[in-house]
Amino acid sequence: MTTLKGPGIFLAQFLGDQAPFNNLQSICLWAEALGFKGVQIPTWDARCIDLQKAAESKTYADEIRGTVEECGLSITELSTHLQGQLVAVHPAYNELFDGFAPAAVHGNATARTEWAVQQLKYAAKASQNLGLNAHATFSGSLLWHTVYPWPQRPAGLVETGFKELAKRWKPILDVFDENGVDLCYEIHPGEDLHDGVSYELFLKEVNNHARACLLYDPSHFVLQCLDYLDYIDIYHERIRMFHVKDAEFNPTGRQGVYGGYQSWINRAGRFRSLGDGQVDFSSIFSKLAAYDYKGWAVMEWECCLKHPEDGAKEGAIFIQDHIIRVTEKAFDDFAGTGSDEAFNKKILGIQ
């Protein structure tokens, strides 16, 4: 067994224009002072990294890693959540998602997709240059508008959608394979990969690609009423990343999973700071330890109530307290009597 690494922190929700959140060095010093040991870097934010430059220049990648390490931290992974979203976008969402891409491709879905695909390929090489072995992203979606179908879905629609999704992602997965990096999809509502069944549909279409792995975030499963502990039992061999994020689901007579178009604070399902929600993290950390998870535990803050700086301060302690330093011996080793084949046969009454 392996003691997982952490605590780490995803920087995306903390970056801003005011110090110490306005550049990589200062935000890393802030994170280290709170007790974090690693940072997950959003690749769309120029305050942290130039993704293309990190892919094309090992010298620049070494400088980025050096900046982080001089602050006493490690880079846990890179993230292309926003770019991955743009690999597959249904036309109904074009205007909403244009904001994730450069202005030069706004209003041009084909150019936007090409830009996103290239971003993912840069991320594979940049990850290799940084010495990383896993990467976080979203799958994007062509089918989400049919998730609760009315009118009914035409026969074959789902199969056609996943074939197209796989067609777009297979070349990207191959580039990640060439660079020795696992591509980890965050299973998330709004994406075509939003639960175990949808992930399996995709995995089938990419021929069980070895690099089509998972980012495990239990908060999204609480809000779907999905068994997030059983999920680990089923998919542990594919889990390569872990977002430590809490959530709560409190349905009423007025609303449930879909939330009634309410703001986050007024929804039945809400994201919370670590320890303030309903996720059984003790069981999660135990399962990951038992399954020999070798990656990082990375806090993602998305609380609808608590100030982010308080969530980060408490989150570092919370994760550290939940990390299990795995044992190197069995508790009953002291009572061992030794063994060999002849002795075992004697115990069993075998001649």
Instruction: Give the count of beta carbons closer than 10 Å to the beta carbon of residue 320.
Output: 14
Bridge partners (DSSP) of residue 74 are: 38
Q: Check which CATH number belongs to the domain holding 181 and give it.
A: 3.20.20.150
Bridge partners (DSSP) of residue 141 are: 89
> For the chain, how many residues are written?
351
Residue 95 is part of which domain span? Answer: 5-348
CB 215 within 8 A of CB 167: no
Bridge partners (DSSP) of residue 239 are: 214
| Number of domains the chain is built from | 1
Bridge partners (DSSP) of residue 41 are: 78
Give the integer Cα–Cα distance in Å for 104 and 275: 43
Give the integer Cα–Cα distance in Å for 66 and 10: 18
* Torsion over CA: 173, 176, 181, 187 (sign): negative
Reading the chain (351 residues) residue by residue, the pLDDT tens digits are 899 999 999 999 999 999 999 999 999 999 999 999 999 999 999 999 999 999 999 999 999 999 999 999 999 999 999 999 999 999 999 999 999 999 999 999 999 999 999 999 999 999 999 999 999 999 999 999 999 999 999 999 999 999 999 999 999 999 999 999 999 999 999 999 999 999 999 999 999 999 999 999 999 999 999 999 999 999 999 999 999 999 999 999 999 999 999 999 999 999 999 999 999 999 999 999 999 999 999 999 999 999 999 999 999 999 999 999 998 887 767 667 777 888 888 888 997
CA 345 vs CA 113, 337, 341: distances in Å = 65, 15, 6
Helix (H, G, I), strand (E, B) or coil at 43: coil
Enter the tokens of residue 49.
Answer: 């990294």
pTM: predicted TM-score of the whole model, two decimal places:
0.95
CB 136 within 8 A of CB 241: yes
Q: For tokens 């959140």, what's the residue?
A: 21
Helix (H, G, I), strand (E, B) or coil at 38: strand
SS3 string, 55-105, reads: HHCHHHHHHHHHHHHHCCCEEEEEEEHHHHHCCCECHHHHHHHHCCCCHHH
Give the integer Cα–Cα distance in Å for 199 and 33: 38
